Structure 1
Amino acid sequence: MNEFTAAEIRRQVEMFLPKVLKPSRYIGSEWNAIRKDWDKTDVHMAFAFPDVYEVGMSHLGTRILYHLVNSFPEFLCERVFTPWVDMEGTMREKGIPLYALESFQPLKAFDVVGFTLQYEMSFTNILSMLDLAGIPLHTEERGPEDPWIIAGGPCAFNPEPLVGFIDFFLLGESEEQLPEVLRLMAEQKKNPVPRQEFLRKVAQVQGVYVPDFYHVSYKPDGRIEKIEAEDGIPAVVEKAIVQDLDQAFFPTNPVVPYMEIVHDRMMLEVMRGCSRGCRFCQAGMIYRPVRERSTETLLKQTEELVRSTGYDEVALTSLSSGDYTCIQPVIETILEKHGPEGVGVSLPSLRVDSFDVGLAETVQKTRKSGLTFAPEAGSQRLRDVINKGVTEENLLAAAEAAFKKGWSTIKLYFMVGLPTETQEDIDGIVDLAKKVVNLGTQLGRRNITVTISTSIFVPKPHTPFQWEPQEAKASVDLKQRHLREKLRDRRIKYNYHDVKTSYLEAVFAKGDRRLAPLLEWAYKHGCRFDGWSEQFREGVWMEGFKELGIDPHFYANRAMDYDDILPWEHLESGVTKQFLVEEHHRALQEAKTIDCRYNECTGCGICPGRGVQIELKG
């Protein structure tokens, strides 16, 4: 890469921008963007989202951390996203390095680049961004003049395939942890110490994982023998937790993009965590315990968001917003106060068993868009295995109430390949779809559309199903073909997830640090945007496995034993291994586990183990 100043980068980019797709991805200067004086701040951070602008700008965590870092006068934070393939090609051709949107400063000029790890299929984009920035890919090749490369987010709970590319990882909620890390970086700039000495200091911060200090050895059959921490380094890294959401930082002046983004609306985080206990759900385990924001805080935040953004819709976000104990009064008050200004409310996640048609009507007063429910499995037996806790009666009652109130479009989400799944469970998906369609017809609804979407089960770390294999590709393929055949009906649409992508996702979800060379090989052979179907190159990945002698089935399709040492064994979500083992046993017995919010403690370990507690405001 050539050495360019920020002004030269801007000038060069402006010359060719009209020739690339969606040029507003690359220009910055949006409403509420923060531009600070580079010379008057101690630490310069680039917040890097390894996907395109419109995906990254829709992510609430990006909004929170960008404004959080900039709320400190001594820190500066700017944003950078993965350029789409046409933009990347042009930048490489002209030798222009990757730059941050606010100042057009090259990424290499920053003190720290922080990646968010939302999805395993974005890992090659991280390498693409580092390379395009002219930053050495490997940690050991970086010198004092290079930025620190850090990462956090849900995939940081098993970041092992990225070891060697990322200097250190932040586990858990970064609101307090990240500023502490940046203060250490400011101190390092003033009084530099050798790299290892600085990393030892950082490793003492709650939730910071420095892979350099953990040594992994393997058995002859490829399984892990042990993971050992060096002296003076925590044997187990415990995640950072924000206890009081009312006191937690939340930005009410988010950046408003020029272009339409995936979730183009105001976002209000009503609560964090979920204790429903779905056994496939990683978020439900790693974000415990449940903590709610008070109605007063939410109404004040809404007031400020409406004033600072100009959006006409506010989304009440969480893992399960229908479970928020003050949901009704919050929605009613927002609509009462801001409805006359044309502001509406949306609920991204509705549970079948807590569905309130009155609530849905209140939310969708102006226009009845579709309703979405996630039964996840086609039979009650399998729903009990995964601890979904909803019944066919719940679903049909919710559908009936919706049809009677004028809805005619319903989406149902299911998973294929769940542990213990049989043909009967697959046929159950077809039966449910037809029952919902017939119910709507009997109730006199016209133009009924029932959309069935199936994703493929991917066993995730820190869940009761982490020991399970993913079902073989050929078998999943047959099930999807069967569903395509049986769901042929003009009133039913069937969408399904690509089995090849889910397979690779499972490899990396359960992967260890021996996959890092594969990641680099695939990136150098043209892989990036692997989560985008039009960019995914299965052939290249399969060639890479072969070339490097890595067996993908070892990761994706192997059942693991409880006494196996897992690649993420030294990283803790706060939920104990004992609890996950018990939940796995209960799954195989088709036994349900209650929600501890309203019943006795289920013994997951997060509250007593970490001195935190469930906080409900209703």
Structure 2
Amino acid sequence: MRKLALNDEILLKVENPARYIGNEVNSVMKDKNVDVRFCMAFPDSYQIGMSHLGIQILYDMFNQREDTWCERVYSPWPDLDKIMREQQIPLFALESQDPVKDFDFLGITIQYEMCYTNILQLLDLSQIPLRSEDRTLDHPFVMGGGPCTYNPEPLAPFFDMFYIGEGETVFNQLLDAYKEWKNSGKSRREFLEMAAEIPGIYVPSFYETTYHEDGTIASFKPVNPHAKEKIEKQVVMDLTNTYYPKKPIVPFIKATQDRVTLEIQRGCIRGCRFCQAGMLYRPTRERDVDFLKDTAKSMLESSGHEEISLSSLSSSDYSQLPELIDYLIEECSARKVNISLPSLRIDAFSLDVMSKVQDIKKSSLTFAPEAGSQRLRDVINKGLTEEVILEGASKAFEGGWSRVKLYFMLGLPTETEEDMRGIAHLAEAIAKKYYEIPKDQRHGKCQIVVSTSFFVPKPFTPFQWAGMFRKEDYLEKAKIVKEEIRAQLNQKSIKYNYHEADVTVLEGILARGDRRLADVIEAVYKKGAIFDAWSEYFRYDLWMEAFEEIGLDPEFYTLRERPLDEIFPWDFISIGVSRKFLEKEWEKAHKEEITPNCKMKCSGCGAGIYKGGICIESKN
């Protein structure tokens, strides 16, 4: 009989106790006497983590191995965090309820910079030393994966290793190596040396950084013969004949994305210069439509979910979308299942599809122009003209929609006040399109929600060299947009909201930071910072205190525009896309020149080295 790690008294005290008891539908139970016990962790709340497709894929993949049991853990909410510290209860995995510290591996998915203190929370509550150098053979190997590992350096001292790339490729090799090591009597360091030989595995303790007097990096090099000069991103080229969960875990409580997720492709052909995912996941690769049909049916049958969502960076670019949509409409209407279609470009086909699958009265349409002027949209290579945006809005209003969400960024490279005011002018132009429709054909009042986030330069994008702004500057930019919206004729139809400026500054520091930031992260965690991604818990003042105590200037990481020859903390990683291509795109941005998408013309980004996906198709 499985015994819960938390007694009834504790479970009755905490919010959403179902987060901590495990045993959900389709979760995997095994004999504890397997060769490898792997705990997959997500450094945020259960509801957020349960919405993450990557963990579901790896969980399914690992548990297909008879010799491995993969379990899960999420960050305990502050109420339980407090109790666990007071009562010295070690963090436990959901399936077995066993302490995480007794596992062979703790694998942490790192999706967002603002979760970095939660990584230390997971280690601390697990009673695992925060720094890899302090761990012994009694502790699990701590490894990180996910998009933030494309600059792992701010977290380097806390991890034994990082997996760079897509998880379906060399994980089996790593688990086999561990089994071989486990019975060999060799040291912890010797296993890390075995791991460092595996493609895509980065062991940070085997590298050394030196700095110039001005704080920039002078050198970054391996100091162990097993460590590679370059870590190559691992990519799954055949997305059809690979792992995908047919029986997703169904949570007892409502998750943020409470639905079946069907990943139709990876990568994006568009080449927006601000978008990290668009560069990291090149080349664009599609899943076969028959595989998707079978998988969708299996997932719906095994989960009982009432909604299915197509996952992709740009769903409209999936070549077999019409066929897949027709199948899903037929399958889902029979099951009374809703279809969610994010990442669609608003054109006649998309609007036709959405009118079939959405309740127009309840739903809103989303446009992401990203910038308020055509000039700035060309700078960021958005590939969207005002004419296309207005035509899409017009067709949507004629089709019965009356609510539109518009997403923009403030603080983009070369931005002027005119570009900022252009956000209000574009929202006004869209509102006008609604009021051009005869009154008797309108569907209630027009609602346009304008949201602005503040641009954060990310590694491996053409904007990785860009400077940022101070918190006060960002707020001033938002103020300009707000005042301009108030000056519009249809201002009552336009609602405006913007992202927190202090969170943006910190995200920018962590995104492009180096190994020295680890001391700041540890210091701020010890001051009580966790759940920084949640507004109600974020403490900017604690972060600034920690920077001061450690003696690092946060503005060194934000305000500087980097010279083209600067060594970046992430330069040792190869993602296929070449630095030369990114430099060329940075220069083209300043000339306001656009680059055609991958289907129109190959731009020689470097992703052709993977010999597949769009890189091969576009040549046929």
- Do the two structures share a fold, i.e. TM-score over 0.5? yes
- Structure 1 match to 2:554: 552
- Structure 1 match to 2:61: 68
Cα distance in 2 between the residues matched to 1:491 and 1:91: 48
- Structure 1 match to 2:456: 458
- Structure 1 match to 2:481: 483
AA in 1 matched with 2:159: I
Residue 236 of structure 1, CA deviation: 0.7
SS at match of 2:448: strand
SS at match of 2:208: strand
AA in 2 matched with 1:549: G
SS at match of 1:174: coil
2:322 to 323, 328, 346: 328
- Structure 2 match to 1:440: 434
Give the TM-score, by structure 1 length.
0.96
Matches within 5 A, 1:292-371: 292-352=286-346, 356-364=350-358, 368-371=362-365
Q: Is the 8 A contact 1:45 1:77 kept in 2?
A: yes
Q: Is the 8 A contact 1:352 1:390 kept in 2?
A: no
Residue 142 of structure 1, CA deviation: 0.5
Cα distance in 1 between the residues matched to 2:146 and 2:8: 33
- Structure 1 match to 2:42: 49
Q: CA offsets, 1:92-140, max 9 Å, x none?
A: 1111111111111011011000001100110000001100110011111
Q: Is the 8 A contact 2:524 2:546 kept in 1?
A: yes
Residue 233 of structure 1, CA deviation: 2.4
AA in 2 matched with 1:516: A
Unpaired runs of 5+ in structure 2?
none
**1:167 and 2:127 correspond:** no
Q: CA offsets, 1:142-194, max 9 Å, x none?
A: 10010000001000000101111000000110112222211111222121322
- Structure 2 match to 1:77: 70
Q: Report the CA distance shift for 1:562/1:504 in structure 2 as closer, same or farther (over 3 A).
A: same
- Structure 2 match to 1:187: 180
SS at match of 2:157: coil
Q: Report the CA distance shift for 1:482/1:255 in structure 2 as closer, same or farther (over 3 A).
A: same
Q: Is the 8 A contact 2:348 2:392 kept in 1?
A: no
SS at match of 1:38: coil
Cα distance in 2 between the residues matched to 1:185 and 1:515: 30
Cα distance in 2 between the residues matched to 1:532 and 1:238: 34
Cα distance in 2 between the residues matched to 1:114 and 1:354: 44
Cα distance in 2 between the residues matched to 1:89 and 1:369: 40
**1:600 and 2:598 correspond:** no
Residue 611 of structure 1, CA deviation: 3.5
2:588 to 568, 586, 589: 586
Q: Is the 8 A contact 1:331 1:345 kept in 2?
A: no
Q: CA offsets, 1:228-282, max 9 Å, x none?
A: 1233422110100001001110001000111111111111000000120000100
SS at match of 1:64: helix
Residue 456 of structure 1, CA deviation: 0.6
Q: Is the 8 A contact 1:355 1:398 kept in 2?
A: no
Matches within 5 A, 1:539-578: 539-578=541-580
Matches within 5 A, 1:191-202: 191-202=184-195
Q: Is the 8 A contact 1:79 1:102 kept in 2?
A: yes
Q: Is the 8 A contact 1:409 1:450 kept in 2?
A: yes
Give the TM-score, by structure 2 length.
0.96
- Structure 2 match to 1:127: 120
Q: Report the CA distance shift for 1:357/1:35 in structure 2 as closer, same or farther (over 3 A).
A: same
Cα distance in 1 between the residues matched to 2:356 and 2:110: 35
Residue 366 of structure 1, CA deviation: 7.5
Cα distance in 1 between the residues matched to 2:492 and 2:87: 51
Amino-acid identity (%):
46
Cα distance in 2 between the residues matched to 1:79 and 1:367: 39
Cα distance in 2 between the residues matched to 1:582 and 1:366: 43
AA in 1 matched with 2:451: S
Cα distance in 1 between the residues matched to 2:377 and 2:243: 37
1:239 to 221, 233, 244: 233
Matches within 5 A, 1:458-537: 458-488=456-486, 489-537=491-539
- Structure 1 match to 2:16: 22
Cα distance in 2 between the residues matched to 1:13 and 1:53: 19
AA in 2 matched with 1:155: C
Matches within 5 A, 1:389-400: 389-400=383-394
Q: Is the 8 A contact 1:6 1:106 kept in 2?
A: no
- Structure 2 match to 1:204: 197
Residue 600 of structure 1, CA deviation: 2.9
AA in 2 matched with 1:541: W
Cα distance in 2 between the residues matched to 1:303 and 1:516: 45
Cα distance in 1 between the residues matched to 2:123 and 2:514: 21
SS at match of 1:494: strand
AA in 1 matched with 2:393: A
AA in 1 matched with 2:539: R
AA in 1 matched with 2:252: Y
The number of residue pairs the alignment matches comes to: 609
Q: Report the CA distance shift for 1:381/1:422 in structure 2 as closer, same or farther (over 3 A).
A: same
Q: Is the 8 A contact 1:352 1:375 kept in 2?
A: no
SS at match of 1:176: coil
SS at match of 1:461: coil
Q: Is the 8 A contact 1:325 1:616 kept in 2?
A: no
Residue 360 of structure 1, CA deviation: 1.7
- Structure 2 match to 1:262: 256
Q: Is the 8 A contact 1:353 1:390 kept in 2?
A: no
Q: CA offsets, 1:397-454, max 9 Å, x none?
A: 1111111111111101000000000001011100011111121122133221111110
SS at match of 1:315: strand
Q: Is the 8 A contact 1:316 1:346 kept in 2?
A: yes
Residue 365 of structure 1, CA deviation: 5.4
Q: Is the 8 A contact 2:5 2:98 kept in 1?
A: no
Residue 20 of structure 1, CA deviation: 1.0
Residue 376 of structure 1, CA deviation: 0.2
Q: CA RMSD in A?
A: 1.7
AA in 2 matched with 1:254: P
Q: Report the CA distance shift for 1:85/1:150 in structure 2 as closer, same or farther (over 3 A).
A: same
Cα distance in 2 between the residues matched to 1:322 and 1:493: 28
Residue 212 of structure 1, CA deviation: 1.5
